[in-house]
Amino acid sequence: MFEDVTAPPARIVSPHRPRRTRRTAALRTFVRETTLSVADLIHPLFIVDGMGVHKPIETMPGHSQLSVDQLAKEIIECTALGVRSILLFGIPTQKDMTGTGAWDANGPVPRAIREIKRLAPDMLIIADVCLCEYTAHGHCGVVRDESGGVINDETIPLLGRSAVCYAEAGADIVAPSAMMDGQVAAIRDALDDAGFLDTPILSYAAKHASAFYGPFRGAAESTPSFGDRRAYQMDPANAREAMREVQLDVEEGADMLMVKPAGSALDIIYQVRTNFPHLLVAYQVSGEYAMLKAAAERGWLDEPRAALESLLAIRRAGADRIITYYVKEAARWLSTAG
């Protein structure tokens, strides 16, 4: 008996067909679990002393060191794109062994805070609190000699002074990144004593000694002149230690938490999100940005798709906000896709 080859194939009966919801762009948007908007992104800026400075950063295409008088165009552009949050790093002309420029009321960051608040009163300003940009040796605190060992307990009062200086200038949030033990508690005490009880602390709670910081160190002029930072930044191999660092910062009074870098620590982001209710920020760092830029320039990647996918992955892992050098480009891409 021959098979009837003209008969229609048997229908595959299945109540579960995930492809049903992928068929059109409208369906894919409707069922999308993770969303990304410009409101989720924080734009970093590098502020320098002087006048008329607009110096492109070679390793970070699209970014420049800016003097305060050059901020207007940047802030107007950010506002037009819907950018709501900015993170400031300062680069002084004069540096010394203890980083005294970090708490100079006329330093680049306090002056930038006042100018941005004048230009865009609703812009949220986060001031990074560290000494590495301000010290002659490039370390994040006071050092005794060229062994690179930072003196923790002599450093944390200086971080407190810096945080108060930025709060006085009008910073909405201070963000300690020096990875000193007890820095959050010291900054909280300093802020409270100065009357800034309502200034929140965004702690760089899990900050790894990463190879992906290279372009930033050039941009911030903060490369250590000797040694490295592995004695106080975290070993990238350690996840349990990251949770311990986060817990300690929470106990010391951190209002918000950060994981840095983001792309190589998605598991840490997920664990922090799972175990702590605090607002969680992840930092897509300069090396991550530079890699995507370099590959795109060679035609190896579709830059908008790759960059937005990388940001979505960070959001999917659990980050509420992302610091990224792609903010302005992402805002344009998202608007076009909108």
Dist CA 132 CA 150 (whole Å): 11
pLDDT tens for the chain, 338 residues: list them.
Answer: 555 556 666 666 667 778 888 899 899 889 999 999 999 999 999 999 999 999 999 999 999 999 999 999 999 999 999 999 999 999 999 988 889 999 999 999 999 999 999 999 999 999 999 998 899 887 878 887 666 578 899 999 999 999 999 999 999 999 999 888 999 999 999 999 999 999 999 999 999 998 888 887 777 666 665 666 667 788 999 999 999 999 999 999 999 999 999 999 999 999 999 999 999 999 999 999 999 999 999 999 999 999 999 999 999 999 999 999 999 999 999 998 75
**Domains of the chain and any CATH numbers:** 36-337 (3.20.20.70)
Distances (CA, A) of 134 to 77, 89, 100, 145, 153: 29, 10, 7, 17, 18
22: its two tokens? 């992928």
Dist CA 293 CA 297 (whole Å): 6
- The confidence score (pLDDT) of residue 11 equals 65
Of 280, 256, 154, the residue nearest 201 (C-alpha): 256
69: its two tokens? 């008088």
pTM of the model: 0.92
Place of tokens 């350690």: 238
β-pair partners for 48: 67, 91
How distant is the alpha carbon of residue 245 from its chain centre? 18
How distant is the alpha carbon of residue 138 from its chain centre? 20
Helix ranges (H only) for the chain are: 25-30, 71-81, 108-119, 152-169, 183-193, 214-219, 240-252, 266-275, 286-297, 303-317, 327-337
Question: How many Cα atoms within 13 Å fall on the side-chain side of residue 74?
Answer: 25
**Catalytic residue annotation:** 207, 260
**147-172 pLDDT, tens digit each:** 657 889 999 999 999 999 999 999 99
The CA angle 185-284-141, to the nearest 5 degrees, is 40
Dist CA 168 CA 273 (whole Å): 32
